[in-house]
Amino acid sequence: MKGPTFDREKVHFNVARLKKEGRTFEVVIDPDLAIQFKKEGGDVREVLHAQKIFCDAHKGLPSPDDDMEAAFQTTDTLAIAARIIKDGQIQLTSEYREKKREEKKKRILELIRINAIDARTGLPHPLVRLENAFAEARVKIDEDKSAEDQVNDIITQLRPVLPLKIDVKKIQVHIPANYAAKMYGTVKSFGRIIKEDWLNDGSWRVVVEIPAGLQTDFYEDLNGKTHGNCETKLIE
């Protein structure tokens, strides 16, 4: 039976490819799910766009049963597909790679905005300023590294064109009893709790260390959720 065909001019898709016994075997995949499956396993049917083994997916040419039997000792499509994804290479389209680069760039920009400040003013850099600095410094995103693993190297690249300083702030917060318990998670989500005291009146006094770039967001979140009924003090 002839497999589905793909129009190269209109359709761009990602494949997993494995060469075995001198033959090429391919499956058409969802790239994010395939990468996850390669690491963690799972239900291979969720990964596949077509439950079909190809010798050339772009031409829509199915792999002969004899070739599959010789290479895998089975013709079970799902079992072979799992082997191809686990043991083979994931071939990504340029569109997908560009999408992932943009996502990683946005994450890196956000990490810099959160963790670094303007060395001259002590204030966070606006995102548009960081984006302009990226272009001026010709920053290259490493596709094989997570945003967190490369952000420090990128900050080093940006410093010649943008004054950046990694900084944290220690802030003491005093929250009234009627808000204290439900604000614990909010305060902890912003940074590291250094010291805390539950006072006799049920209120909560806490010292938290947060990235300097989150200072404004922290104050706004606290004031919004307590309707302004909290006290904050920056500890030098």
Domain boundary among 166, 195, 212: 166
d(CA 222, CA 232) in angstroms, rounded, equals: 9
Decide if 2 is inside a domain. no
What is the arithmetic mean of pLDDT over 32-45? Answer: 93
Eight-state DSSP code of residue 138: T
Handedness of CA 202, 205, 210, 215 (dihedral sign): positive
For residue 161, which phi and psi values (nearest 5 degrees)? -115, -10
99-132 pLDDT per residue, tens: 888 999 999 999 998 888 888 988 888 999 999 9
Shared domain check, 172 and 162? no
Residue at token pair 């307590």: 226
CATH number of the domain within which 110 lies: 1.10.10.900
184-227 pLDDT per residue, tens: 999 999 989 999 999 999 999 999 999 887 888 899 999 999 99
> 3-class secondary structure for 117-137?
EECCCCCCCCHHHHHHHHHHH
Structural domains of the chain, count: 3
Decide if 8 is inside a domain. no
The answer to whether the CB of 54 falls within 8 A of the CB of 29 is no
In this model, does residue 1 exceed pLDDT 50?
no
Shared domain check, 148 and 203? no
Angle at 234 between CA 231 and CA 236, to 5 degrees: 155
What is the arithmetic mean of pLDDT over 33-44? Answer: 93
CATH number of the domain within which 225 lies: 3.30.70.240
- The range of the structural domain enclosing residue 18 comes to 14-91
- pTM, whole model, 2 decimals? 0.62
